[in-house]
Amino acid sequence: MSVGAGYVFDRTFTIDNASGVPQFVAVVAGAEDGGCALPAVANAAKFLGFTQTAQAMQNKAVSVRRLGISAAVANGPINFGDRLVIASPAGDVKSVESTIAAGLETPATEWNVVGRAENTTVNTGDTVYVFVLPETVPLAAS
């Protein structure tokens, strides 16, 4: 699937990671103002957006899509319209739609949704287009 221009708001951040960061991955707030980093864990909080360029060097600028539609790396099957969260420290994304639809989890969980899928994917590594729309979805314990 190809998508036309979907940018609305991109901002430049400085990458904290020593090995840099790939293109089209989720990043979170860095250690200092104006910095960003790959997430330390799945479902990480403080989501900033998706990198639009790769940056191989630490402390250098990387363009991050904060609002609009961005390409991202899928971590498995995703359906059009699914809510997505950060899947791993690699900055890829996965669907949590069925989990949220189920309504309850044990233990209680707070999902840090990064946006909604604009297309369907089948395999890990596929490109998913994400309507960047961060929100928090709390689920009570069952």
Per-residue model confidence as pLDDT tens digits over 7-49: 689 999 999 999 999 999 999 999 999 999 999 999 999 999 9
Kindly list the distances between the CA atom of residue 16 and the CA atoms of 20, 43, 54, 64, 84, in Å, as whole numbers in the listed order: 7, 19, 13, 14, 24
Question: Does 86 lie in the same domain as 59?
Answer: no
Per-residue model confidence as pLDDT tens digits over 90-136: 999 999 999 888 887 777 789 999 999 999 999 999 999 999 999 99
Per-residue model confidence as pLDDT tens digits over 48-85: 999 999 999 999 999 999 999 999 999 999 999 999 99
Q: For residue 36, what is the enclosing H or E element?
A: strand 35-37
Which of residues 21, 37, 70 is at a domain's end? Answer: 70
Question: Does 82 lie in the same domain as 58?
Answer: no
Question: Does 66 lie in the same domain as 77?
Answer: no
Question: Does 63 lie in the same domain as 95?
Answer: no
Question: Does 66 lie in the same domain as 78?
Answer: no
Which of residues 70, 86, 103 is at a domain's end? Answer: 70
- Domain containing 131 equals 73-139
Q: Does residue 85 lie in a domain region?
A: yes
Q: Does residue 19 lie in a domain region?
A: yes
Give the 3-state secondary structure of residue 107.
coil
Q: Does residue 2 lie in a domain region?
A: no
* Alpha-carbon span 7 to 14, nearest angstrom: 20
Question: Does 77 lie in the same domain as 61?
Answer: no
Cis amide bond preceding 107, omega within 30: yes
Number of domains in the chain: 2
pTM across the whole model: 0.91
Question: Does 91 lie in the same domain as 59?
Answer: no
Q: What is the 3-state secondary structure (H, E, C) of 63-93?
A: EEEEEEEEEEEECCCECCCCEEEECCCCCCE
Question: Does 90 lie in the same domain as 66?
Answer: no
Which of residues 70, 97, 125 is at a domain's end? Answer: 70
Question: Does 78 lie in the same domain as 36?
Answer: no
